[in-house]
Amino acid sequence: MGQVHKLKTSYATPTFAHAVETFLFAHTAAGAWSPGTTVKYRQTLTALAARLAGTPVGDNVAALDTDAGATALAQAYTAAFGTTAPATRVRHLSTLRSALAWWRESAGWITGDPTAGWVRPKVAVDTTRALTRDQVAALWRVDVGLRDKTLWRLLYETAARAEEILTLDVGDLDLDPVAEFVPAPVGPRAGRRPGRHRGNRPDLPLLGRTSQGPANAHRNHRRPKPPDRHLRPTSMGTADLEAVG
């Protein structure tokens, strides 16, 4: 007579790789993440899963609650991301901690945080300006073609996007030396209208005079904030600009 064996009804904790896939699926199925976010999270977690394969943590994610498991995770993290830039390591660490929090609070597979005590990489803040005034002045003296120099000056003096400048014709530019650029309002009303010229033609926008076409694209898209100063037309003459066209 055969023997009767009691089936295990308790749910065992998964492997690290399975835990990763469950975490990713729980967020992508719910539409909480964009496809780009999912790709970034998958890159981080699968890189760690590959380095933890064959270890106690790789075989059972609950091993992260042990000292040996926490050490193995730290070693895998260093091997995978130790040579990357500080900002990149910060992103990978945030991704890992997000997964650990879900495994702890939602899935119940772990009880602690194996990254507790890890030092967050310091990201240096670049406070330098894009170009100093001396650098800009030197730029105007560079021996390049008039077309390139005109493009540079228009980009600098209007704060427009490159694609906006590249779609301009000479007739789209306001060369009136009396006019000055008035930035669009800031605060709650920011973005409701583009910056405008003030002077002989007060209603003429900086770019474009028609209601359609690429030269007027900035009316339907947010434009970069102009420098905190009034902008006057370029010192290049009309004849020079016409030579470029």
- Residues 140-150: pLDDT tens digits? 888 888 888 88
- Give, in order, the Cα–Cα distances in Å from 170 to each of 114, 148, 181, 204, 244: 63, 15, 18, 15, 9
C-alpha to C-alpha distance for 16 and 45, rounded to whole angstroms: 9
Report the amino acid identity of residue 208: G
Q: Report angle CA 157, 160, 166 to the nearest 5 degrees.
A: 105
* Predicted confidence (pLDDT) per residue in 150-166, tens digit: 888 888 888 788 888 88
Give every CB contact of residue 178 below 8 A, 6+ residues apart in sequence. Answer: 199, 200
For the chain, where are the E strands, in sequence order?
180-182, 196-198
pLDDT of residue 178: 46
Q: What percent of the chain stands above pLDDT 90? A: 38
Q: What percent of the chain stands above pLDDT 70? A: 64
C-alpha to C-alpha distance for 135 and 123, rounded to whole angstroms: 27
Q: Pick the more confident residue, 12 or 233.
A: 12
What's the token pair of residue 180? 């000055």
- Cα of first residue to Cα of last residue in the chain, in angstroms, is 98
- What is the torsion angle, in degrees rounded to the nearest 10, for the CA atoms of residue 7, residue 103, residue 53 and residue 32? 120
Report the amino acid identity of residue 220: N
* Predicted confidence (pLDDT) per residue in 6-39, tens digit: 444 345 789 999 999 999 999 988 778 888 899 9
3-state secondary structure 203-232: CCECCCCCCCCHHHHHHCCCCCCCCCCCCC
Angle of helix 35-52 relative to helix 16-28, nearest 10 degrees?
A: 170
pLDDT of residue 21: 95
Contact, 185 vs 194, CB < 8 A? no
* Predicted confidence (pLDDT) per residue in 65-75, tens digit: 999 999 999 99
Q: What is the mean pLDDT of residues 110-114?
A: 96
Q: Which residue has the tokens 């926008």?
A: 205
Q: What is the pTM of this model?
A: 0.52
